[in-house]
Amino acid sequence: MAKKSGWTLFWIAVSGVIVFVIGLCLYCWSLSSQIEKRFSGRRWSIPSKVFSDITVLYPGQTINRELFFSKLYRLGYRKVSHNPTQKGEFCASGSGIALFLHDFEIPSQKQEGFPVQVKFSENIIIGISRLATGEPVPILELEPEEIMSFFGPEREKRQLVSLKQVPRYLIDGIIVTEDNRFYHHHGVDPLGIVRAMLTNMRHLALRQGGSTITQQLAKNYFLTPAKTISRKVKELLISINIEIRYSKDEILEIYLNEIYLGQKGSVSINGVGEASNFYFSKPVSELSLAESALIAGLIRAPNYYSPYTDKNRCQERRNLVLQAMFKQGFISDQELKTSSAKPVTVTGFMVYANKAPYFIDYLADQLKLLYPPETLSNLGLSLYTTLDTQVQAAAERALANGLSRLEKSYPQLRRSEPEKKLQGALIVMQPNTGYILALVGGRNYNQTQFNRTTQSRRQPGSAFKPFVYLSALDSFTPVSILSNAPKTYVVDGKKWKPQNYEPDSEERITVRKALAKSLNIATVDLAMQVGLARIVDTAKAFQFSTPVKPYPSLALGAFETIPIELARAYCALAADGVLPHPLSLKEVVDEKGQVLERRQMTIKRVTSPAKAFLMSSLLRSVITEGTARSLLTKGVTFPVAGKTGTTNDYKDAWFVGYTPDILVLVWVGFDNGDSIHVAGATAALPIWAELVNSIPEYISGQWFKMPSGVVKRIVCSESGQIAVSDVCPEPREEFFLAENAPADYCSVHRHMGLLDKIMKGMKDVIE
């Protein structure tokens, strides 16, 4: 019985071992399947990056030097005291700047960095040339600026690199510090474990770990940080599996892209490619020996040894890595001495934050039609936008300054509660393309994410009047006479009597002057003569999405509109009558550089070039002799077309102004509709002026060319007919649609001219 019992126990033990072995094999097979699935598919969730447009510089261009240098710093350029010798360096003086450009690649264009000299005369670029040869450079382009990333829940940031791109110094430095026997073990290194245990016992502290690079990769990829025996066993099994399935170089490449190397605010820096950019603003392939040793030394405790935390501690750690590399024969004695003596120099960084947050929100809304959120946070797309970060910075500053000035000048506008403060919105567009160069949807994005440029509905007031006058151009000319005499209208059985904002004694007034002075009574008179239905049709043609009803108050902008739609409508006046679609996105590019999406300009003709030119001419009078004439005292010396806007009880203040090159809309008001007590010329116009004066590169000083279908005549200011030479007291130049141009000479003064001739003839006879 005892013998039989012994055999029973033996077979139970054998069976247990067999079951264990089979279970272990099945588990290893399961692990192998998981590893294959993870490594053969997408290995990382890479956030899609959003970029601004490129910046173009050329001789003869006027720039804002303050904004230009701020942009260089945001692009990661470093100021040095000598002529630049490495990409990303610049040296500035009063007469110019020497700049070593970064490499960059965008769809259909690739640029290798080279040193250039840009010469200034005050704020004008007078020359651009290659620093080495003096060869002129007609056009210089700066790379797009990264403005945000669509992060996943891990908020990891990495730039994928191949093993071929990583300098040998960095590979050697990482191997010597993290896994000296990497190429001699099979995932687990018993000698390394024993060596680590002896070192830790000798120092009575945890000074060295026994994990191999493969084990670190297994832990980061598949396991939690929990320090348990079961997790350690899984780590060993996964490591052996990885070593069986993949070559050493493949494992090392994955590790170099995976390893955690620091923190940028709430975003983790992963991989040597992103670390090279974060610490040194350069591609990993350009790292020096000292820089490579620094990154290798960070792996053990990235935030403890970070140069942004303690440069002295970082330098000590870097030099330990250099000494280890020397002992292993990776570097020479001279390289050790030279690199150890170098100070730790990093480029600095700004904590991650969205630039142009309201613009990004608008872009994100458009992207929802193209990509789901998980695509944007995983696939590493590059999204190239229309944003000009210099214009955006100027716009944000101009709006903040303008609102602060108003609160200082008018204490009744101050509010203590952040959500009740005076607000503003600002849009900058290129009329011919619809490109949005800047968009500011409110005073402080951190306090309110409500985007007033795209989400608010406000009455445009007099800012809508140009579309009333445009509706009338088939039958009215700039010299046509309107009634400015008070009149009462009956609307839905109720009496309504429009009032001018300021008293005006003229009861008869020309179309040009009525628009320039923004006279309500004359504008309603025009609207009633043209027909309200026709004005409604014009509003629909310009694609205002808010309801518009044929009431007389329509002529005064009493319906609500969305600011970006109003800006777009004005763009058509500046773009020969073509209504563009507001564009924030230009191209979407995948990880391989292939263009996935290219947003083309979408345009629609809504009026003729002749009528658009005539409206621009009328709106120029708003600046030269009308409600916006104060613009001339604010440094705006170039020709501008524009219109102020003020609603009932001063709830909304507007100014929309444009040139052939650029259009800017400014709105000021309270979200709850409180009165701001001042008109558009006082509240919005100064903000417009500050912004436009800050972006001289967009101001050519040119005016619109007169298209076919428009004629120019010298007319009598009193009669509006062709002026009689030397007789009409106030002749003036005026534009007309060809079919509406006056054909007769001035009926008021031409007889006086004939009488003068008779009297002169009689005098000659007498003499």
| Angle, CA of 71, 272 and 286, to the nearest 5° | 65
The tally of CA atoms less than 13 A away on the side-chain side of residue 168 is: 4
Catalytic site residue 462? yes
Q: What is the dihedral of CA 144, 148, 151, 156, to 10 degrees?
A: 70
Cβ–Cβ contacts within 10 Å for residue 110, how many?
10
Distance CA 366, CA 364 (A): 5
Q: Which of 178, 274, 291, 690 is catalytic?
A: 178
List Cα–Cα distances, 124 to 101, 121, 127, 134, 302, in angstroms. Answer: 20, 5, 9, 19, 45
What DSSP character marks residue 583? Answer: B
Query: What is the DSSP annotation of 129-151?
Result: EETTT--B-S-EEEPPPEEEEE-
Show the DSSP H helices in 418-518 as ranges: 465-471, 511-516
Show the DSSP H helices in 299-388 as ranges.
311-327, 333-341, 357-367, 373-378
Q: Which residue has the tokens 């480029």?
A: 347
- CB within 8 Å of 401: residues ≥ 6 apart: 687, 690
In whole angstroms, give the CA distance from residue 209 to residue 211.
6
Contact present, 673 and 420 (Cβ < 8 Å) = no
Closest CA to 97 of 84, 85, 87: 84
Check if 178 is active-site. yes
Asked if 484 and 504 touch (Cβ cutoff 8 Å), the reply is yes
Which one of the listed residues 462, 584, 694, 719 is annotated catalytic?
462
Burial class for 755, CB neighbours closer than 10 Å (0-12, 13-18, 19+) = exposed
Radius of gyration of the chain, Cα coordinates, nearest whole angstrom: 36
Catalytic sites, residue numbers: 178, 462
